[in-house]
Amino acid sequence: MPSALILIADGTEEMEFTITYDTLVRAGVACTSAYVSADSDTASTTQTTPSFAKGSRGINILPDTYFSPQAHVPDNFDLLVIPGGAKGAETISKNSPVQHLVREYIKNGKYVGMICAGSLAALTAGLEKQPLTSHPSVKSHLEKDFIYSEQPVVVSGRLVTSRGPGTTFPFALTLVELLCGSAKRAEVAGPMVFPPGTCE
């Protein structure tokens, strides 16, 4: 069974987190959500389970665990997902252990998915120049260092990027296809009953 690590922080965009998580689960992917604290010294906490992450629209989401650079290595997951939401994406993309793991996942042939402002992690991790996309609000931060695209979903080797809440379903389904194949993508998408042409 493929597995995915989905990061979350205070200010993460709820749709990008929940739709991606839900769609992957529907495909049989084992998902783990990990809370990235704005306080980088999360190792000092005595709690094993984080409190609620407050999303960008004020919705509380309970992550499965704290983010751990030691536990969440590419040996343990097939996919790393970084959602957007301005505040959450800033917290996640500026976290140096996350930056290191982004590079390690790519280096080890695992997939990394970034959506919306989450694509800033490609910059802070120092990934090589390649095609990507993001929310328009952070385009100016990325277009000098990457081959910027305005396609809904951009696949560049092991890096998968997308634009925002409205592109989350095609983003998540693309991740399903990469992990589980095109037949599984069609199987998952069918019961969701998308309007024709919206998630092809």
Answer yes or no: is 197 within a domain: no
Answer yes or no: is 16 within a domain: yes
> What is the value of pTM for the model shown?
0.94
Answer yes or no: is 198 within a domain: no
* Lookup result for tokens 């597995």: 3
Q: In this structure, which amino acid lies at residue 45?
A: T
Q: How many domains would you assign to the chain?
A: 1
Answer yes or no: is 135 within a domain: yes
Residue 181 has a pLDDT of: 97
The residues assigned a catalytic role are 16, 116, 135
Answer yes or no: is 72 within a domain: yes
Instruction: For 160, list phi and psi in degrees, rounded to 5.
Output: -125, 125
Range of the domain at 56: 3-192
SS3 of the chain: the string is: CCEEEEEECCCCCHHHHHHHHHHHHHCCCEEEEEECCCCCCHHHCCCCCCCCEECCCCCEECCCEECCCCCCCCCCCCEEEECCCHHHHHHHHCCHHHHHHHHHHHHCCCEEEEEHHHHHHHHHCCCCCCEECCCHHHHHHHCCCCEECCCCEEEECCEEEECCHHHHHHHHHHHHHHHHCHHHHHHHHHHHCCCCCCCC
Q: Which residue from 103, 108, 132, 106 is spatially nearest to 120, judged by alpha carbons? A: 132
Per-residue pLDDT of the chain (200 residues; tens, 9 = 90+): 999 999 999 999 999 999 999 999 999 999 999 999 987 544 444 456 677 887 788 788 889 999 999 999 999 999 999 999 999 999 999 999 999 999 999 999 999 999 999 999 999 999 999 999 999 999 999 999 999 999 999 999 999 999 999 999 999 999 999 999 999 999 999 999 999 888 76
Four-residue CA torsion sign, 170, 141, 10, 8: positive
Q: Check which CATH number belongs to the domain holding 154 and give it.
A: 3.40.50.880
